[in-house]
Structure formats: C-alpha cells, structure tokens
Amino acid sequence: MSKHALDNIKSIISEPLQQARSEYEQHLHSGVSLLQEVNDYVSAHKGKELRTILVLLSACAASGTEKSITASIIKSAAAMEMLHNATLMHDDVVDEATERRGSPSVRQHWNNKLAVLCGDYYLAQVMRLLQEIDDRKAFETVNRTVTEMSEGEVLQQQYIASGRLDRDIYYDILRRKTASLMQACCELGDPRMKDFGAHYGMAFQLWDDLNDYAEDTTLPRPSERELLVKKNEQIAEAQKSISTLPPSKYKDAITELLTVLN
C-alpha cells in the first residue's frame, strides 16, 4: 500500500487520529519496565494504523462530518489497533515468525513467553477500553470478532495440516482472520459501514495474498488469476456499499483506500 496515499488519508483525520494514538499509549502504559519496553518497541514499528483509520473514517464518511467522532469512537479506534497488535504478537508465536513490519518480531527480539504475555496484556487493555465505552453493542461486536479471529486461526492450522486446496475453507479463513476485524472497525465507526468493512477486509487480504503469492506457500491457494478476480469483486461490492453516502472528503478518502488495492 502506497505510503504517500496513506499519509494523504491520515492528514484528513489528523486530529482524531492523534487523539486515538494518545488514548492507545495511555492505556498501554505500564510501570513494569520490561512491558513498557515492549510497548515502546511495538509503537516504534506501528505499521499502517489501518484499523484506527477505518474506525475514524467510517464515522466521518457515514455522516459527512468529523463532528460525528465522539470520545467513544476515539476509544474504539484505540481498542481496535490494540486488538490487532495483540493478535500479531500471538500469531507470530504460532507461525514462529522472525520478522514483523520489517523488524524482528517481539518473540524474536525477546522470546515466545514474553510475546504471549504481552499479547494478553494488550487484550486486557482492550477490555478496559470497552468497559469505559460502556456500550453493549460495541462489546458484542468485539466479542464476535475475537471469536471469529480465534476460530480462523485454528481453522488455518487444520487447513494447513490437510495439505489440500479447499476454496470454501480458504476464503472462510480470510474472512475470519482479517475481514472480521476490519468489518468490526467500520461497524464501530458507524453501523452503516459494516458491509463496507466486510468487503474491504476481504479485498485487502486477497491483495496481500497476491503480493506474496510466490513467497508464501504455507496455505494451499487458488490460482493468482482467481484471487485477482475475487479481489476485484470485493472492491466492487465495497464501492457499491458506500455509493449512497453523502459527498465529502471523508468518503473520498475511504474510496481511496479501495483504489490503492488495484
């Protein structure tokens, strides 16, 4: 994904994005020096912040104004980024990954035990943020998402062990592991953005799989041609889902998120 395009998108929501970053850092802060060292390391290699962006942009695009961003939306954005990073630390242990975002993974830089424990700490802070939001629907959305992501990870292990291509299972893994979280991000921003999130999440993971098709042979996958067709179908559905939103720079920005997947 183009850094220039992403920076342009971030500039449109710069103030709430900074507020979400502050909320994120405040809730993760720990008096345990080793844990704080890991927090600082993860923050220094924070990646695209795409989950935070999706929450904030969804809130703005659905209404056409930044005035729709409440304190709860800011907390939701921080919680989703936190959840994402927690799952990455755990996934890297499962996959025995040595690198994350161009640097040594937490498990590689320290060890597996610390990666699991820090991931658990992040999940605890997600629950703390949800408690502060105090919204039953938000809690149910995140609970559903964590359940699907966990099932997706186990399903992937089962699928790898089979060594056989099964298209239905393959696409279900993508939906559970990646699309479910992006769907939740958009839904927490505004429930009207739920469908966009589901389709965008699938398109994003298909785009990502196409980019490393030759390198990653872990999962039995359909052909590159099939994945390209599927990705374009999901992009079209995502575009359709936001076609009735009011014109705004936020709608343009969320449309650009789709454009960079082409």
Q: Are residues 202 and 110 in the same domain?
A: no
Residues in a beta bridge with 104? 99
Strands (E), the chain: 99-100, 103-104
In a domain, 262, yes or no: no
In a domain, 249, yes or no: no
> Which pLDDT score is estimated for 188?
98
Q: Are residues 182 and 214 in the same domain?
A: yes
Structural domain including 120 reads 1-134
The CA distance from 127 to 45, in Å, is 23
Number of domains composing the chain: 2
Q: Are residues 16 and 129 in the same domain?
A: yes
Q: What is the pTM of this model?
A: 0.96
pLDDT tens digits, 215-250: 888 899 999 999 999 999 999 999 999 999 999 999
Residue 239: its H or E element = helix 224-241
In a domain, 56, yes or no: yes
CB contact at 8 A, 55 and 188: yes
Question: In the listed set 101, 118, 134, which residue is the last one of a domain according to the structure?
Answer: 134
pLDDT tens digits, 153-190: 999 999 999 999 999 999 999 999 999 999 999 999 99
Q: Are residues 141 and 130 in the same domain?
A: no
Q: Are residues 97 and 146 in the same domain?
A: no
Q: Are residues 51 and 106 in the same domain?
A: yes
Q: What percent of the chain has pLDDT over 70?
A: 100
- The dihedral formed by the CA atoms of 50, 56, 61 and 64, expressed in degrees to the nearest 10: -150
> Which pLDDT score is estimated for 4?
81
CB contact at 8 A, 186 and 58: yes
Whether residue 61 has pLDDT greater than 80: yes
> Which pLDDT score is estimated for 215?
84
Question: In the listed set 134, 161, 189, which residue is the last one of a domain according to the structure?
Answer: 134
